[in-house]
Structure 1
Amino acid sequence: MTTVSPPAPGLVAPKRHKQKLDWTGWKFVGPFMLVFALVLIAPVIYSIYLSLFKEQLIGGNSFVGLDNYAQALGDARFWESLGRVTLFLVVQVPIMLILALAAALALDSARLYISSFFRIAIFLPYAVPAVVATLMWGFIYGTQFGLVGDLNDFLGTAFAPLSNTWVLASVGNIVTWEFVGYNMLLFYAALRVIPVDLYEAAELDGAGAFRIIRSIKLPALRPAIVIGTIFSIIGSFQLFNEPNILQSLAPNSITTYFTPNMYAYNLSFSGQQYNYSATIAIIVGLLTAVIAYVVQLTGSRKES
């Protein structure tokens, strides 16, 4: 059995210095985390809190648990607005992304003259504020005073872009006009980082332009396409500015529950139903997050 001998007289055991925590990183991240908590986390928590209560005639604002969510799941107006936005998403987003992809491929092909002009011209609508763009297209769609009205008088037709039949397509046209340039720039930036060696090897193998697009450019664009799709899905469920501004021109076609965001907005600011409005917003937010996550997961699996 070994014994530990005490230190010799006059020798003091060295003190162990505690390692100081380095707070430098937190000092840089701290301001962002504070703003992030105040502008994102706190509103979400407060919205969840509101959705668990309900203003009643007797008892005032009382806790009701998940009753608001049950009411939303049985709300025909909510499902109608959600179905309209889903249709908008399924039709408008692919058209917009295909147009943006075609524009990006055309610019990257180096076969367009004054390509810088076309790049700026396609991107310019994205720089126009959504309110201004919607007002401009609203004047174009007008059947009494706009371009469509003049064409109807000239051709003897009665086309009404803001009627019940065409209003969703008209809104989709405005959104497409606004965001094709943004997605085009996203795809074009991804194309510019493709190594030139791949193109040279493909040309040596005798690959044509379409084969290069199919075998080199499109696979390299997959991450950008996934990102563009996710952003477009989020934007579709957030659809609000365009139909809300056009509502004054087409009150019979664009209702107060035309989109889920419009429904939640009018419930809150016109109907004073803040609790139910928060419930609608939370359901739409969760649904958007789930769909975006599925798209991202699918894109990641295909890429791997």
Structure 2
Amino acid sequence: MVAQAPSAVVPRRRVIGGGGRWVPYAFVTPFVLVFLTFMLAPIVIAVVNGLYSSQSSGLGFGGAETVFVGLRNYARAFADTDFLFSFVRVALYGVVQVPVMMVIAAVLALLFDSALVKARRFFQFAVFLPYAVPGVIAALLWSFFYQPSVSPLVQGLQAIGVDADLLAPGTVLWSVANVSIWSNAGINMIILFSALQSLPRDTFEAARLDGAGELRIALSLKLPMIAPAVMLTTLSTVIGTLQLFNEPQVLQFITPNISSDWTPNMAIYAVSTLGRDAHLGSAMAVILGLVTLVVSLVLVRFTNSSARGGAR
């Protein structure tokens, strides 16, 4: 009996240009729709709405009509000294709050990454827990510690002869900053700690063999190696500073030293709701968005320039 030679296997030809070309678009479509609906559309509406104004017609008896006024609302916004000073206030707030926030987050991340801290998981959870508390609730909790009549903190300071008023005109800004730092330091710490965990440990072991201490390793190796994560957290903190709203809005009810236009977001809210001028509020919102964009671009440009200079 003669054995038959095995038949050659004919390779299958891959069909190019089949009906699967639409599959990537199907996956991308939900994101595009959400982006257009909740990100791009509000921006376009705000820009267009800021170019119009509501004016009474018929000696006030014919209702209000919307008329095109061009850049008049933007001129009114720039002529509002209280609105402009709110940017100065959040700039002063950010000059102190952003570095303090980043230093606290970086120190905690470095400590948790080292072998110095015991019960690491417990302390990480304790530091991150305030971030899970909504900003309004956090402001309400801290308002209890700021009111002299019920605050154990203020009463304790007064008992040792320190006349503390945490809601005074000169201290209320830092009281608001304290609430923000308490609430957001944990999430920044988690981001930096995650970046530290991805670093190669061989580099640190080699540095220890060369005689470098833990502080030298942290400052000269770990922090430069997680520079992108530091940049990300710094940028998000700066943007959050410009969007400050919840904390001062809540504390406004317990102190007269926080006005309705204390921050840009509060000024926009007051004009749009209390002032019933949504068109002027839209113009202010566009200005705030442009300022945030410019500050973000400047920060990114500065960071990239510093990184290139350090690489040389």
Identify the residue that residue 287 of structure 2 maps to in structure 1.
283
Please tell me the residue identity of whatever aligns with 2:56. Answer: L
Identify the residue that residue 39 of structure 2 maps to in structure 1.
40
Among 237, 241, 244, the residue aligned to 1:239: 244
Among 272, 279, 285, the residue aligned to 1:268: 272
- Deviations, residues 26-62 of structure 1 (Å, cap 9, x unaligned): 1111111111111111111111111001122357321
Q: Which consecutive unaligned segments of at least 5 residues does structure 2 have? A: 1-15, 58-63
Identify the residue that residue 14 of structure 1 maps to in structure 2.
none
Q: Are the equivalent residues in 2 in contact too, given 1:148–1:159 (CA < 8 A)? A: no
Deviation for aligned residue 1:257: 0.3
Identity %: 39
Q: Are the equivalent residues in 1 in contact too, given 2:158–2:164 (CA < 8 A)? A: no
Identify the residue that residue 23 of structure 1 maps to in structure 2.
22
- RMSD of aligned C-alpha atoms? 1.8
Among 170, 173, 189, the residue aligned to 1:168: 173
Deviation for aligned residue 1:112: 1.2
SS for the counterpart of 2:28 is helix
Identify the residue that residue 8 of structure 2 maps to in structure 1.
none
SS for the counterpart of 2:216 is helix
Please tell me the residue identity of whatever aligns with 1:52. Answer: L
Q: Are the equivalent residues in 2 in contact too, given 1:142–1:148 (CA < 8 A)? A: no
Matching of residues 187-206 of structure 1 within 5 Å: 187-206=192-211
Identify the residue that residue 55 of structure 1 maps to in structure 2.
54
Identify the residue that residue 156 of structure 2 maps to in structure 1.
151
Please tell me the residue identity of whatever aligns with 1:217. Answer: K
**TM-score, structure 2 as length reference:** 0.87
**TM-score, structure 1 as length reference:** 0.90
Q: Give, in whole Å, the separation in 1 of the partners of 2:28 and 2:17.
A: 22
Please tell me the residue identity of whatever aligns with 1:144. Answer: S
Q: Give, in whole Å, the separation in 1 of the partners of 2:267 and 2:147.
A: 25
Please tell me the residue identity of whatever aligns with 1:68. Answer: N
Please tell me the residue identity of whatever aligns with 2:27. Answer: F
Deviation for aligned residue 1:293: 1.7
Among 136, 139, 144, the residue aligned to 1:139: 144
Deviation for aligned residue 1:152: 5.2
Deviation for aligned residue 1:148: 3.7
Identify the residue that residue 3 of structure 2 maps to in structure 1.
none
Identify the residue that residue 85 of structure 2 maps to in structure 1.
80
Q: Give, in whole Å, the separation in 1 of the partners of 2:160 and 2:205.
A: 53
**Residue 303, structure 1, aligned to residue 302, structure 2:** no
- Deviations, residues 50-99 of structure 1 (Å, cap 9, x unaligned): 10011223573211111111221221011111110111111111011001
Q: Give, in whole Å, the separation in 1 of the partners of 2:94 and 2:185.
A: 15
